[in-house]
Amino acid sequence: MNLYNIKDKSEQVSFAQAVRQGLGREQGLFFPERLEPLADVDALLDLPLVERSARILSHLLGDEVPAPQVHELVKAAFTFPAPLVKLKDGTYALELFHGPTLAFKDFGGRFMAQCLAAFRTNDKITILTATSGDTGAAVAHAFFGLEGIEVVILYPKGKISPLQEALFCTLGGNIRTIAIDGDFDACQALVKQSFDDEELKKAIGLNSANSINISRLLAQVCYYFEAVAQLPKADRAKAVISVPSGNFGNLTAGLIAKALGLPVKRFIAATNANDTVPRYLKTGQWDPHQTVATLSNAMDVSRPNNWPRVEELCRRNGWALETLGSGMRSDAQTRDALKRLHELDYLCEPHGAIAWDLLGEQLAEDEVGVFLCTAHPAKFKESVDEILGLDVPLPGPLAKHAVLPLLSHNLPAEFARLRAFLLG
């Protein structure tokens, strides 16, 4: 598999190198040089999740990784289901929270860990990543205890839910966590600055596990096929998928699936008040505002890292950006959506509720809608309990970590301080 740097197309790398390197020159994102459509999508959709996903990823990786090895990587990573739940005629929820950290990031995080363990040399590796909530837990648990790999996770202090924090800040060992005095964009900026520091990169073997890492992105392609596979065959080509969108890796993966031939009619990018992309699609002006804290904190991103990949993919396929559905919901609208979902006997959380609400607004009568549920409602217990008047029970993983002490360090949003920490 050959990939190129979107910002500097002269920089071309293999898949293994892209996984190890994370970012290209000038903080450029790596993107596949070719995305050839799959030969027989209908036959693929009849296969079980692991076998189908292994074939999709083998198709993408080509001769670089032998098919049996790809199958073993997928088998080790995808050990949990992604059920499609029917809410009413024509509307379905794709539940992506049945993995070990109860969020969709488990798919990408676990596949990346398997890849990096398979491709690593004897050199030191330090994974540096920023999280707005769920990435941290998925990465921490995927890499916990892996020999020769250190993980450092930055997150905005006080801006993720206490249960999200507990799930990845209580592990210790090769997992170090830092609460940054700032928002997610500040954390992300620190990661980018670190990758621009060649001396630091070489000294600690720097890599990233954000959705900027191509291995995570390609893994996420697989659950879009799983969603469509569970739809009635007559409805597949009518599918509209609403995606909770923060850093836009999730939407990018969906568009890659479409480029490979998945029969999806269109996508909706659903955001909260941090609505840089919906405003851009309406006005043509890229105008990020200051990031604001919301109930759907994993989408509190004003400068989405993966947006250049969306534009690159649309450009290459001749898709007009305007064909993407989009929209935003305020916290008040999110609360209302959660209540209306609960009246349908479906317990959701803020991110999924936003995707569902915008789906209902934009779905035509002859279309079938799927919205992504990216996290278990218990990960947002405080807000879900308060809005719905419930006492959501904690699943095992959350109950275990909720009572453990936090092991996080605290730093200002200053690169010099982070650099000293990483080298120390």
pLDDT in tens, 201-260: 999 998 877 667 899 999 999 999 999 999 999 999 999 999 999 999 999 999 999 999
Query: Is 309 contained in some domain?
Result: yes
The count of other CB atoms within 10 Å of the CB of residue 420 is: 11
pLDDT tier at 20 (50, 70, 90 boundaries)?
A: confident
Dist CA 219 CA 108 (whole Å)? 5
* Mean pLDDT across 357-382: 96
198 and 220 both lie in a single domain: no
CATH code at 198?
3.40.50.1100
240 and 303 both lie in a single domain: yes
Q: What is the pLDDT of residues 372-389, one digit of tens each?
A: 999 999 989 999 999 999
- What is the number of structural domains in the chain? 2
Domain that holds residue 408: 124-204+393-423
Q: Which residues have C-beta within 8 Å of that of residue 225, sequence separation ≥ 6?
A: 44, 45, 52, 53, 56, 257, 262
Which segments within 21-95 are labelled E, that is strand? Answer: 30-32, 84-88, 91-95
331 and 399 both lie in a single domain: no
Query: Is 52 contained in some domain?
Result: no
Dist CA 171 CA 308 (whole Å)? 34
pLDDT above 90 for 124: no
pLDDT of residue 358: 98
Which pTM does this prediction carry? Answer: 0.90
Is residue 167 within 8 Å of 135, Cβ to Cβ?
no
315 and 384 both lie in a single domain: yes
Helices then strands, counting H and E runs in the chain, come out as 18, 14
Dist CA 298 CA 135 (whole Å)? 9
| Structure token digits, residue 263 | 């029969």
Query: Is 135 contained in some domain?
Result: yes
312 and 413 both lie in a single domain: no
155 and 260 both lie in a single domain: no
What letters, b where the CB count within 10 A reaches 16 and e where it falls short, cover 210-242? bbbbbbbbbbbbbbbbbbbbbbeeebbebbbbb
Query: Is 10 contained in some domain?
Result: no
Query: Is 352 contained in some domain?
Result: yes
Query: Is 143 contained in some domain?
Result: yes
pLDDT above 90 for 119: no
Widest pairwise Cα distance in the chain: 59
146 and 291 both lie in a single domain: no
Q: Between these two residues, 322 and 37, which has the higher pLDDT value? A: 37
- Residue 126 three-state SS: strand
| Structure token digits, residue 247 | 């850093």
Bridge partner list, 153: 129, 177
185 and 299 both lie in a single domain: no
381 and 402 both lie in a single domain: no
Query: Is 295 contained in some domain?
Result: yes
pLDDT above 90 for 320: yes
147 and 279 both lie in a single domain: no
Query: Is 315 contained in some domain?
Result: yes
Pairing of strands 175-181, 149-156: parallel
384 and 397 both lie in a single domain: no
* Mean pLDDT across 322-342: 97
377 and 418 both lie in a single domain: no
* Mean pLDDT across 188-193: 91
pLDDT of residue 217: 93
Q: Report percent pLDDT > 70 for the chain.
A: 99
Least confident interval from 74-78, 82-86, 229-233, 393-397:
393-397
Least confident interval from 2-6, 15-19, 64-68, 93-97:
15-19
